[in-house]
Amino acid sequence: MTQPFDLPAYLETRRRVVDQALRDFLPKASEWPERLHEAMNYSLNAGGKRLRPILAIAAAEALGKDYHAVLAAACALEMIHTYSLIHDDLPAMDDDDLRRGQPTNHKVFGEAIAILAGDSLLTEAFFTIAEAAKPEQAAAALEVIRRIAQASGSRGMAGGQAVDLLSEKKKISVAELERLHRHKTGKLIQVSIEAGALLAGADKRQFESLSRFGECIGLSFQIADDVLDIEGGEEIGKDIGSDVANEKATYPALLGLEESKRLAHQLTEEALGVLGDFDAKADPLREIARYVVYRKN
Amino acid sequence: MTQPFDLPAYLETRRRVVDQALRDFLPKASEWPERLHEAMNYSLNAGGKRLRPILAIAAAEALGKDYHAVLAAACALEMIHTYSLIHDDLPAMDDDDLRRGQPTNHKVFGEAIAILAGDSLLTEAFFTIAEAAKPEQAAAALEVIRRIAQASGSRGMAGGQAVDLLSEKKKISVAELERLHRHKTGKLIQVSIEAGALLAGADKRQFESLSRFGECIGLSFQIADDVLDIEGGEEIGKDIGSDVANEKATYPALLGLEESKRLAHQLTEEALGVLGDFDAKADPLREIARYVVYRKN
């Protein structure tokens, strides 16, 4: 008899590996210029779930590799996620004072240092992947950099954030909302899976299945986030209903709460379906697909 | 008899190559999200000298290669330079309304889009290098990404900008000023030369000479900039004496005008000295070394 897979234990052990690796990769707060490095470390160590790095690790594990080959890229993804949070929180953007219950970067370090800390985390992400790549990994590392940059820039996450800001207080269609979220949140989640797959040596068919898996859970994650903003969560660290207050377009606002939940459920089923050819080593990915939708924070 | 080298003609032809390549690499303003791409194109096409890309090209040419192998990296360097200008001009940073005589990015597009346009240009730089690299170039391209990221992030340009902001209205030593400028301006200029050298297949000794050349002109360029701010230039596009008004530490303020000019001259001579083993193909680099110090804008 096989043991049931213990997701909380899995997430906890992988999170610790990622936390340690992030401390190893990032310049210490004692290194010149100290104030900037302090600001970078402040937000990176603010206690995230490390979902994107864990997805990269779980994708590699689904292919029978352990996390060592993907750890630098996994940490790079968290640096990019963290940079995006620092910049999104700025007064000129979403103007948030709290993030995960703590003062946001610019509230502690001022706007100028917060902007530069975000810039530097983004830059450090690409340094980290290039620095860690072994010679025989060069081609794969370069392809990972290409995909992560594409998923993060104007054709990805930053583009989605721009459209999100420009769409505030405007009525947009479900198709526009989906495009916005595929860019703002979805592509970085998808590329997390892709990075793990590429660095673990996936063949073309494995890569395409995992990429599609990442696309499905990228969107289901965002829908679940919108639902949590309405229904509330235990530790989400921002005010319940803040999207409504900011007049942001959300799935529940456009589709209703029940239809949003149904859509998230359907995407989860599709994600599980594309993993049909994978064995039990893909169980962490399967459980994470359920977790991103049925989580309470 | 050899013709005297015509620097203005050289700079003009290379600048045109770079301008065209930047148009080819960057997403068009008509591509979704249009407003963000418009903002990126606005600043990238604002008429810079393209000094960093031309340095990369000239370094490759000094080694007998033409510009094709280095064009993507050359454009990436200009994207990073442009992102730094957009962010430096923000109200939270230097708060400038004009750049090269035109309204700054945030004055035209607003702060949020200006921040995202800078973020996106930085990201696009790494995409551009990775996308353009041929398989046999993978290792060199990865090393170029590593060095450019190191020279641009908290241990380079962004770190120098942070210290510059934190040093305003404070008295700093000449050693601190040199460290600040080596980071804020020098490292990106140095890595421009290094990128050209690496992608042109420099051997270890050639690389080290060219790297040291880049280090010298990176610093002489900044000293000359400080001198121009006092003495004024024809087309510098910012108010004469603006550094003084902003109480910025500068070489003339710390060393006096004549001693600053002497130091810039000495660095130029050192730069020319390290090119001793290079033939006439390095003449563009030699003339640029003189130009960065004796230019009038």
For residue A131, the chain B residue with the least C-alpha distance is B146
> pLDDT tier at B235 (50, 70, 90 boundaries)?
very low
Say what the pLDDT of residue B4 is: 77
Select from A127, A152, A162 the Cβ nearest to the Cβ of B153.
A127
Select from B119, B139, B165 the Cβ nearest to the Cβ of A135.
B139
Select from A111, A141, A162 the Cβ nearest to the Cβ of B33.
A162
Mean pLDDT within A212-230: 94
Task: Name the amino acid, one letter, at A21.
Answer: A
Distance from CA of B127 to the nearest CA of A (A): 5
Q: Give B-chain residues touching A161 at CB under 8 angstroms.
A: 116
Mean pLDDT within A64-88: 97
SS3 labels along B67-111: HHHHHHHHHHHHHHHHHHHHHHCCCCCCCCCEECCEECHHHHHCH
Residue B163 has pLDDT above 80, yes or no: yes
Say what the pLDDT of residue A248 is: 75
Select from B116, B123, B146 the Cβ nearest to the Cβ of A149.
B123
Average pLDDT, chain A: 93
> pLDDT tier at A229 (50, 70, 90 boundaries)?
confident
Q: Is the separation of the CB atoms in A91 and A38 below 8 Å?
A: no
CB contact under 8 A, B139 and A141: no
In a domain, A1, yes or no: no
In a domain, A2, yes or no: no
Q: Give B-chain residues touching A113 at CB under 8 angstroms.
A: 162, 165-166
Select from A93, A122, A166 the Cβ nearest to the Cβ of B123.
A122
Q: Which of B82, B123, B188 to mutate to test the interface with A (most CBs of A within 10 A)?
A: B123
For residue A135, the chain B residue with the least C-alpha distance is B139
Q: How many CB contacts within 8 angstroms connect chain A with chain B?
A: 162
The pLDDT tens digits of the residues spanning A125-145 come to: 999 999 999 999 999 999 999
For residue B93, the chain A residue with the least C-alpha distance is A112
In a domain, A143, yes or no: yes
Mean pLDDT within B198-217: 98
Select from B110, B119, B166 the Cβ nearest to the Cβ of A35.
B166
> pLDDT tier at B212 (50, 70, 90 boundaries)?
very high
For residue A142, the chain B residue with the least C-alpha distance is B130
Q: Give B-chain residues touching A158 at CB under 8 angstroms.
A: 36, 116, 119-120, 123
- The CATH number that applies at residue A81 is 1.10.600.10
In the numeric block, which tokens belong to residue B263?
A: 């130091």
In a domain, B1, yes or no: no
CB contact under 8 A, A152 and B116: no
Q: Of B2-6, B9-13, B39-43, which gets the smallest average pLDDT?
A: B2-6
In a domain, A255, yes or no: yes
In a domain, A107, yes or no: yes
Residue B268 has pLDDT above 90, yes or no: yes
Mean pLDDT within A46-70: 96
In the numeric block, which tokens belong to residue A51?
A: 């979902």
Length of chain B: 297
Say what the pLDDT of residue B53 is: 98
Virtual torsion, Cα A196, A201, A202, A207, nearest 10 deg: 50
Q: Which residue has the higher pLDDT, B133 or A234?
A: B133
Return the percentage of chain B with pLDDT > 90, whole number. Answer: 86
Q: Is the separation of the CB atoms in A195 and A148 below 8 Å?
A: yes
In a domain, A116, yes or no: yes
Say what the pLDDT of residue A235 is: 45
In the numeric block, which tokens belong to residue A18?
A: 């990622």
In a domain, A150, yes or no: yes
Q: Give B-chain residues touching A122 at CB under 8 angstroms.
A: 119, 122-123
Provide the residue range defining the domain that includes A52: 7-294
Neighbours of A227 (CB within 10 A): 20
Number of domains in chain B: 1
Q: Give B-chain residues touching A32 at CB under 8 angstroms.
A: 159, 163, 179
User: What is the tally of helices (H) and strands (E) in chain B?
Assistant: 15, 2
Angle A111-132/B138-152 helices, nearest 10 degrees? 160
Distance from CA of A234 to the nearest CA of B (A): 31
Say what the pLDDT of residue A246 is: 63
Return the percentage of chain B with pLDDT > 70, whole number. Answer: 94
